[in-house]
């Protein structure tokens, strides 16, 4: 099992870190078998698995439910679980309580929190408590309503400067890793060079220490809109739909089930059952 020190070593040796989301037992198992370095149980599960139009309806219970399934499917992979919307704001006591529940019940290796500013106190508290924290800056989907949608962040010199300072502050607060979402590649490059902790990008160009993508985007599973930064590596949705249509067709035509799918009662038992009839 890799740990936070392994990822720092990978950064210093310029070995790229491959992170992928997973939400259940089979997806986690496939991710582990594929050699993924870090599995993220993302709150994006609200959109790609539960069918919400944003991540803000996702609850602590949802994250625990899915996190436990992912743990069962990937016993030997470093797992990060997103703290969901509203679970790490308001008071430090409550934030720690929610974090402890997710961390203890799922058995994850780390938790991910979006933002800096007041979230820095939470990063510090969780880290001191013994919970490794992954930061998340740039496009932070939990605050999309305030940001004005899913838009590229850090495009102006002023916004880029603020993001760089936030990134340094996350590291100083104890974050073991940082996710940068939807920012210009030049800014991602600068943040990656400025930090000692690994920086993982999504829509942040090729010059970060690693990449993360959403499972369903990577496999083109589901009918959702694919963001511009995604590359899909398999037409899974199409393959599944073809398989399911073939099943329905064969039930309708009577081609399924065939003789090899049925069970047989012995002739003598049939005799006894029906007598001489």
Ligand X SMILES: CC(C)C(=O)C(=O)O
Ligand Y SMILES: Nc1nc(=O)c2c([nH]1)NC[C@@H]1CN(c3ccc(C(=O)N[C@@H](CCC(=O)O)C(=O)O)cc3)CN21
Q: Which residues of this protein are in contact with ligand Y, per CB under 6 A?
A: 44, 47-48, 55, 139, 141, 150-152, 182, 214, 216-217, 224, 227-228
Residues 277 and 275: their CA atoms lie apart, in Å, by 6
Structure tokens belonging to residue 62: 């949802």
| Contacting Mg ion within 42-61 (CB under 5 A) | 42-43
Q: How far is the CB of 137 from ligand Y (least distance, A)?
A: 13
Residues 40 and 19: their CA atoms lie apart, in Å, by 7
Tell me the site size for ligand X, rule CB under 6 A: 11
Q: How far is the CB of 21 from ligand X (least distance, A)?
A: 5
**Known binding-site positions:** 43-44, 82, 112, 114
Binding partner selected for residue 204 from ligand X, ligand Y, Mg ion, none, CB under the kind-specific 5 to 8 Å limit: none
Q: Are 18 and 211 in contact (CB under 8 A)?
A: yes
> Per CB under 6 A, which region of 1-9, 36-44, 120-128, 234-242 contacts ligand X?
36-44
Binding partner selected for residue 139 from ligand Y, ligand X, Mg ion, none, CB under the kind-specific 5 to 8 Å limit: ligand Y
> Per CB under 5 A, which region of 39-47, 61-69, 85-93, 260-268 contacts Mg ion?
39-47
Q: DSSP label at 260?
A: G
Q: How far is the CB of 84 from Mg ion (least distance, A)?
A: 8
The residues annotated with a catalytic role in the active site are 181
Binding partner selected for residue 21 from Mg ion, ligand Y, ligand X, none, CB under the kind-specific 5 to 8 Å limit: ligand X
Select from 239, 234, 212, 214 the least CA-distant residue to 225: 214
Q: How far is the CB of 220 from ligand X (least distance, A)?
A: 16
Q: Are 67 and 41 in contact (CB under 8 A)?
A: yes
Residues 198 and 247: their CA atoms lie apart, in Å, by 46
Q: Are 22 and 215 in contact (CB under 8 A)?
A: yes
Residues 233 and 168: their CA atoms lie apart, in Å, by 34
Residue with Cβ nearer ligand X (109 or 268): 109
Residues 20 and 248: their CA atoms lie apart, in Å, by 33
């Amino acid at each position: 099992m890799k740990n936070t020190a392994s990822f720092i070593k990978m950064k210093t040796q310029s070995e790229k870190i491959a992170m992928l989301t997973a939400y259940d037992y089979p997806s986690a198992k496939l991710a582990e078998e594929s050699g993924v370095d870090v599995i993220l149980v993302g709150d994006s599960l609200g959109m790609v698995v539960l069918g919400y139009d944003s991540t803000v309806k996702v609850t602590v219970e949802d994250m625990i439910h899915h996190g436990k399934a992912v743990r069962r499917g990937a016993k030997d992979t470093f797992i990060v679980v997103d703290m969901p919307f509203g679970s790490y704001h308001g008071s430090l006591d409550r934030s720690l309580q929610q974090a402890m529940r997710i961390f203890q019940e799922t058995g994850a290796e780390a938790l991910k929190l979006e933002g800096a500013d007041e979230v820095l106190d939470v990063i510090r508290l969780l880290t001191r408590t013994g919970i490794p924290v992954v930061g998340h800056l740039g496009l932070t989907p939990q605050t999309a309503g305030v940001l004005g949608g899913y838009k590229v962040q850090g495009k102006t010199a002023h916004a880029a400067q603020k993001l760089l300072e936030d990134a340094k502050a996350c590291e100083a607060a104890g974050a073991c890793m940082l996710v940068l979402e939807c920012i210009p590649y030049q800014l991602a490059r600068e943040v990656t060079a400025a930090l000692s902790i690994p920086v993982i990008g999504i829509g942040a160009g090729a010059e970060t220490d690693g990449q993360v993508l959403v499972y369903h985007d990577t496999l083109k599973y589901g009918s959702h809109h694919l963001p511009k930064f995604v590359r899909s590596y398999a037409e899974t949705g199409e393959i599944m739909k073809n398989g399911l249509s073939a099943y329905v067709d064969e039930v309708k035509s009577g081609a399924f089930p065939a003789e090899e799918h049925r069970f047989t009662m012995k002739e003598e038992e049939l005799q006894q059952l029906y007598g001489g009839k």
